[in-house]
Amino acid sequence: MFCKQCGNKVDDDAAFCAHCGYNLKPEQTVTPEVVDTNVSSKSRLVAFLLAFFVGVLGVHNFYLGKTGLGIAQLILTITIIGSIASSIWALVDWIMIVAGSAKDSDGKIVKKWTD
């Protein structure tokens, strides 16, 4: 390969250019692994299935750590009129999970389908 800085030929596995000292592999030496702190550790697949099958019971909210919302949705579902609102709520949550914009209790995006 060639140095991006000076254009001289360098070894393919060289970390620095022998001619000008340019760091050829900055991404490997500075950040060995990129951890996205905005992504939830919760499984999107699990949230997806819970919201789809038992979404009206707020189970996906319990799973995502949003216990308050889960209880609220559960109480809402018990009442007849409330169950209609809860169904819509569950559907909206499910769409958000599918769209990848659902968040857990820490405000992190539920993005990963698997752990």
Q: How far is the CB of 32 from Zn ion (least distance, A)?
A: 23
Q: How far is the CB of 104 from Zn ion (least distance, A)?
A: 46
* Contacts to Zn ion from residues 5-64, by CB under 5 A: 5-6, 17, 19-20, 22
Q: List, as one string, the DSSP characters of the chain.
A: -B-TTT--B--TT-SB-TTT--BS-HHHHH-SS---TTB-SS-HHHHHHHHHHHGGGTHHHHHTT-HHHHHHHHHHHHSHHHHHHHHHHHHHHHHHHHHT--B-TTS-B---S--
| 97 binding Zn ion? (CB under 5 A) | no
21 or 100: whose CB is closer to Zn ion? 21
Q: How far is the CB of 17 from Zn ion (least distance, A)?
A: 3
What does the binding site for Zn ion look like in residue numbers (CB under 5 A)?
3, 5-6, 17, 19-20, 22
